[in-house]
Amino acid sequence: MFSVVHLPKKLNKSTLLNTIRLSSTVLQTQDTVPTLPDAENLQKNTLNHPDYFSVHNLFTVKDLFDARVHYGHRDGSLDERMLPYIYGSRLGHIIFDLDKTAEYLRRALNFAAHVAYRDGIILFFLRGAQNSHLVEKTAQECGEFAHTKFWRGGIFTNASKQFGAVTRLPDLCIFLNTLNNVLLQHTAVRDSAKMGIATIGIVDSNCNPNLITYPVPGNDDSPASIELYCKLFKMAILRGKEKRKIDLQL
Amino acid sequence: MALLRQISTKAGINVKSITLRCCTKMLSTEITDEKLIEKKQGGYAQAFDKFESLKNEENKEPYQTFASLLRNSKLIDLGDPEGKVVKGKIFHVVGDDLYIDFGWKFHCVCPRPKKHASDYVRGSKVRILIKELELSSKFLGYEKDITLLEADCVLLGLAQDRSKNVQ
């Protein structure tokens, strides 16, 4: 166990939990395949199933519509790479195609549930004071981690130097908005891509979806939308964890 | 007894044969030599079933496509947002600044008016006039717009709650 004195001052709860988790003497179960007679078949069945955790029916297009997910920014701040996801523009304001958003969101929820099923570490990101507390609470409720403060450069890329020991990086980063407070892309998007960490990101009309593994085009500015995303990801992750308990008969 | 009769009419099997298979003591006392009589539902029973199923169907909303949801939405009804009056709700107060949410992507921030100043609290319904839905424009030297993530509105006053439901 670390003594707290040696840790850098800016360390927050999420990274501290990361390191404690690694250095603890509790057995890490994520790499071991369950020693049941049909373990290989179980793994094949879970991975080949199109919707093993039934996350496809967690929401409807009407729910997305009511949570204002289809609202985008103005035409002037549109990123050309977001054009495939857009329905059109209403008097200068971009509208997202919710049918496409629903499809992408289902893929993202399924992936998050699978990562939780295999005991992966999930890190939520959000930059924006209005909804920070909600995201941190969501992460706590589903037993995962959140980082909603200023992101220092080398947290992923220079982890062993910054934390003073070998660190385990997250397996999935969920960006509830991909831009930071000065409307530039969050450094962690690029760094996750560098370190081979899968990312899910809510991309608004002024964002760049290129580096994100599972982009979800939609509104990231209204509190109603962020609440909906938090609720959906929490439910997907909890379902993944429940299934893990059942399948491994814990 | 009534349940047994329902089962027998649906399955078309004699009452006795069912009870022989079900090994419960409760059912064995109900064996009778009654013949199978196909019960035609009386007028009241028919009406009862009809209105019961009607109640269940009301809960299921018809599936709407995104295109129709958008076409019938308040945003499209608004038309050109400049100069339109909408109803909003104050969700945050910081000193004399009121943060008002009116169902759009962004909120607007308006200063507290001098008249009825104490009535403007968190949860108050207000009427606002929209000047711009998003404060964003292109600055010299930049390719893309810079946004302030806020709408620009004028606070007209308090809104009367005309909803029929008593809250």
Could you give the ipTM of this predicted complex?
0.78
Query: In B39-163, which ranges are E strands?
Result: 85-94, 97-101, 108-111, 125-132, 136-138, 145-147, 152-158
Q: Most A CBs within 10 Å: which of B105, B138, B145, as the mutation test of the A interface?
A: B105
Is the pLDDT score of B161 beyond 80? no
Q: Do B147 and A71 count as a contact with CB atoms less than 8 A apart?
A: no
A133/B contact by beta carbon, under 8 A: no
pLDDT digits (tens, 9 = 90+) for A158-210: 999 999 999 999 999 999 999 999 999 999 999 999 999 999 999 999 999 99
Contacts of A185 in chain B (CB under 8 A): none
3-state secondary structure of A101: helix
pLDDT at position B131 is 96
For range B42-56, the mean pLDDT: 85
A97/B contact by beta carbon, under 8 A: yes
**Domain B83-158 CATH (choose: 2.60.40.180, 2.40.50.100, 2.40.50.140, 2.30.42.10):** 2.40.50.140
Pick from A17-26, B64-73, B130-139: least confident: A17-26
Q: Which residue of B has its CA nearest to A91?
A: B80
pLDDT at position B162 is 72
Q: Please enumerate in sequence order all residues whose Cβ is within 8 A of that of B129, keeping only pairs 6 or more positions apart, or say none.
A: B83, B84, B85, B153, B154, B156
Task: Count residue pairs from A and B with Cβ separation < 8 A.
Answer: 65
B68/A contact by beta carbon, under 8 A: no
Q: pLDDT tier at B81 (50, 70, 90 boundaries)? A: very high
pTM exceeds 0.80 for this model: no
pLDDT at position B36 is 52
Is the pLDDT score of B71 beyond 60? yes
pLDDT at position B38 is 55
Q: Which is higher by pLDDT, A231 or A2?
A: A231
pLDDT digits (tens, 9 = 90+) for A131-155: 999 999 999 999 999 999 999 989 9
Contact status, residue A130 vs residue A184, Cβ threshold 8 Å: no
For range B139-167, the mean pLDDT: 87
Contact status, residue A122 vs residue A237, Cβ threshold 8 Å: yes
Q: Do A77 and B147 count as a contact with CB atoms less than 8 A apart?
A: yes
B70/A contact by beta carbon, under 8 A: yes
Is the pLDDT score of B15 beyond 70? no
How many Cβ atoms from other residues are within 10 Å of residue A150's Cβ?
9
Q: Do A221 and B149 count as a contact with CB atoms less than 8 A apart?
A: yes
B137/A contact by beta carbon, under 8 A: yes
Indicate the residue of A74, A91, A99 with minimum beta-carbon distance to B145.
A74
Is the pLDDT score of B22 beyond 50? no
For range A242-250, the mean pLDDT: 89
Is the pLDDT score of A62 beyond 80? yes
Q: Do B70 and A74 count as a contact with CB atoms less than 8 A apart?
A: no
For range B70-78, the mean pLDDT: 95
Q: Which residue of A has its CA nearest to B92?
A: A130
Q: Which residue of B has its CA nearest to A78?
A: B144
Is the pLDDT score of A21 beyond 70? no
The amino acid sitting at B50 is K
Q: Most A CBs within 10 Å: which of B134, B135, B142, as the mutation test of the A interface?
A: B134
Q: Do B64 and A77 count as a contact with CB atoms less than 8 A apart?
A: no
Is the pLDDT score of A35 beyond 90? no
Is the pLDDT score of A24 beyond 60? no
The amino acid sitting at B3 is L
Q: What is the mean pLDDT of chain B?
A: 81
For range A87-99, the mean pLDDT: 96
Q: pLDDT tier at B12 (50, 70, 90 boundaries)? A: low
Pick from A170-184, B30-44, B132-146: least confident: B30-44
pLDDT digits (tens, 9 = 90+) for A101-137: 999 999 999 999 999 999 999 999 999 999 999 999 9
pLDDT at position B31 is 46
Q: Do B106 and A91 count as a contact with CB atoms less than 8 A apart?
A: no
B106/A contact by beta carbon, under 8 A: yes
Indicate the helix (H) or strand (E) that contains A96: strand A93-96
The DSSP-derived string for A153-217 is TTTTTTHHHHHSS--PPPSEEEES-SB-TTSSB-HHHHHHHHHT-EEEEEE-TTS--TT-SEEEE
B105/A contact by beta carbon, under 8 A: yes
pLDDT at position A6 is 46
What domains can be seen in chain A, in order of their start residue? 41-248 (3.40.50.10490)
* Joined tokens for residue A201: 């990101």
Q: Do A93 and B134 count as a contact with CB atoms less than 8 A apart?
A: yes
Q: pLDDT tier at B25 (50, 70, 90 boundaries)? A: very low
3-state secondary structure of A18: helix
For residue B152, which of B89, B82, B79 has the smallest C-alpha distance? B82
Chain A: closest CA distance from residue B114 (Å): 28
Q: Which is higher by pLDDT, A231 or A11?
A: A231
Contact status, residue A85 vs residue A217, Cβ threshold 8 Å: yes
3-state secondary structure of A147: strand
Contacts of B80 in chain A (CB under 8 A): 91
Q: Do B105 and A95 count as a contact with CB atoms less than 8 A apart?
A: no
Phi, psi for residue A99 in degrees, rounded to 5: -65, -40
Contact status, residue A214 vs residue A107, Cβ threshold 8 Å: yes
Express as a percent the part of chain A with pLDDT over 90: 78
pLDDT digits (tens, 9 = 90+) for B83-109: 999 999 999 999 999 999 999 999 999
Is the pLDDT score of B1 beyond 60? no
The structural domains of chain B, with segments of one domain joined by +, span 83-158
pLDDT at position B163 is 72
For residue A58, which of A108, A118, A8 has the smallest C-alpha distance? A108
